[in-house]
Structure 1
């Protein structure tokens, strides 16, 4: 789920609980074949049948609401299986060609595991929730290894904790159901802070990029020394950094940050590129033709600034997917499409003609390397 969906779900849950209204959380815990959403997608169901967010394109919601209302009546969690294949005799017969497992449980804010998980979702903090799909118990694991909750079976508990820690360590962790050595399926849901997008430059073409990135759940940072350009009115919801290029040491992007150099000013771009390549960020993009990035690297080399092959391997230029983009809004779409593909390990390209499953586990595509500056 993206950040906007999570915010909507948590806001509705907070309102319901303040009114003493019961609520159930439905989570996709397994997908086989084709389906509209993936593991970790959540939907909130309130007493009376109101729902917040969706588990599919409208295929499953009515069925899941009925299950959730029964869970609220009984207080017992439920695991429901839905067959979406077109020729299903007893299934839904929707024609997606796959099947989906949904776990539904009543929300108990007084439970320490539930409270910790909801706090992590609301605060945008890293956490992993491990839930056996057979039996009882849940375990919440924080990024520092702290564990809340305990499973009755010691071996299953150890597996769940280790699986949660390994999931949190991934570059782009996703929810998944894993098989424990004894055969018990364990669903590991993951929450991580929103990815950061740092824009070096607050020009006109940065406006749609910042706005679209915010809509996709990025924490957007804009860096520019010009106060007339760097205003909350131009970049609502973004963190603004009025830094000159020589003051960029005050900005320390993390490993999950994505940096785009787009000042349209050679000197500022040169210093910003140096700062970006020295940072821990895994993705560095330069707007404009490939020759521009090569010129910037040559100028840096002439000034005595050298970068390792590992640093240069993170550099993408030209930035964005090849969509034929021209207008600033189109360029923003191209850049964010590449960012999504890169983060999730896909190479981009057309789905039409693709014979495999759309969501098959990919191999991370290697970033094109620019030649070292002479």
Structure 2
């Protein structure tokens, strides 16, 4: 579930609470075979039957709303299994060939764990919520090991803390259901900070890229020494930085940020590339052909600026998926598609002919790092 969906759900929940409405949150906690969405997808259901966000392509929502209304009335969480197969007698007759498990729980205003979890989602804080799908209790866990709530027995709690912290250490942690040593199915939901995209350059082609990233829930930063280009009208929702190349040290990219160099100016691009590669950011992209990025590296090397193999391994050029993109909006789509594939561990290839689960990641081998010698 991306940051934009989470924001919409939380805004609707806040408005409903202010109006005195009761609500429940439905969460996909298990997927077997093919399904439209993955574990961690959430939907809000209000006591009048209204819903916000979707768990599928429209297949499950009516069924889940009925379950959620009963949960709101009873106050008791429940997990329901939905068969999406073509068998219209025993299943929903949707034809996806898989099944999903959906947990629905009421939103109770006096529940400290639920309150802390909703605040973590709203503030974009890294945290995990662990819920046993059989039994009671839940545990909120932060990366530093702090916890709120409880699980029993102690062995289940220890497993939950260890498994949650392992996932929180990943670049792009995703929700998952795991089996504890005693066989108890345990759902680990994840709250993540919004992804961050930093654009070095505020030219015309940066505008659709910033707009598209913002629509996908990114926190967007735009850096350019030309203050006249840095306006909310050109970059709505973005954080703007009027910085000359020699002042880039004043800007530290947020953790896990993706950086993209697109000044269309060789001198600025060269300085920005050095700043980006030395920042420790896991993704550094250079717009334009491979020869241009290699030229920037060669010029920096001639100036005595070198990079480690680890730094060069984070460099991607040219950026984007091979879509035949030409117009700025098309290039933006190509870049955003690559960023999504890279963050989630996919190779960005065609789905046509893929016989496995649509959401299974298949990552190809990494290409040789730019700037590395042939023998490497």
Shift of 1:368: 4.5
SS for the counterpart of 1:149 is strand
Where does residue 297 of structure 1 map in the other structure? 297
Shift of 1:260: 0.5
TM-score in terms of structure 2 length:
0.97
Where does residue 101 of structure 2 map in the other structure? 101
Contact 2:297–2:371 under 8 Å retained in 1: no
* 1:102-141 matches, cutoff 5 A: 102-141=102-141
Q: For residues 115-135 of structure 1, what are the alpha-carbon distances to aligned partners after superposition, in whole Å with 9 as ceiling and x for unaligned?
A: 100001111111100000000
TM-score in terms of structure 1 length:
0.97
Aligned residues: 374
**Does structure 1 residue 59 correspond to structure 2 residue 59?**
yes
Contact 1:297–1:373 under 8 Å retained in 2: no
Where does residue 330 of structure 2 map in the other structure? 330
Contact 2:262–2:287 under 8 Å retained in 1: yes
Runs of 4 or more above 3 Å deviation: 361-365
Where does residue 148 of structure 1 map in the other structure? 148
Contact 2:280–2:311 under 8 Å retained in 1: no
Where does residue 169 of structure 1 map in the other structure? 169
Distance 2:325 2:356 in 1: 28
What is the root-mean-square deviation in Å for CA atoms of aligned residues?
1.4
Q: For residues 117-164 of structure 1, what are the alpha-carbon distances to aligned partners after superposition, in whole Å with 9 as ceiling and x for unaligned?
A: 000111111110000000000100112221000013111111111111
Q: For residues 252-301 of structure 1, what are the alpha-carbon distances to aligned partners after superposition, in whole Å with 9 as ceiling and x for unaligned?
A: 12441101110000000000000011011000100001110111011100
Where does residue 28 of structure 2 map in the other structure? 28
Distance 1:13 1:254 in 2: 29
* 1:157-306 matches, cutoff 5 A: 157-306=157-306
SS for the counterpart of 2:351 is coil
SS for the counterpart of 1:228 is helix
Shift of 1:87: 2.2
Distance 2:122 2:327 in 1: 36
> Closer, same or farther in 2 for the Cα pair 1:315/1:5, shift >3 Å?
same
Distance 1:240 1:354 in 2: 42
Shift of 1:20: 2.0
Worse overlay, 357-366 or 46-55: 357-366
Distance 1:349 1:361 in 2: 11
Distance 1:325 1:301 in 2: 32
Distance 1:152 1:18 in 2: 35
SS for the counterpart of 1:165 is helix
SS for the counterpart of 2:130 is strand
Shift of 1:363: 4.2
Unaligned runs of 5+ in 1: none
Worse overlay, 346-355 or 310-319: 346-355
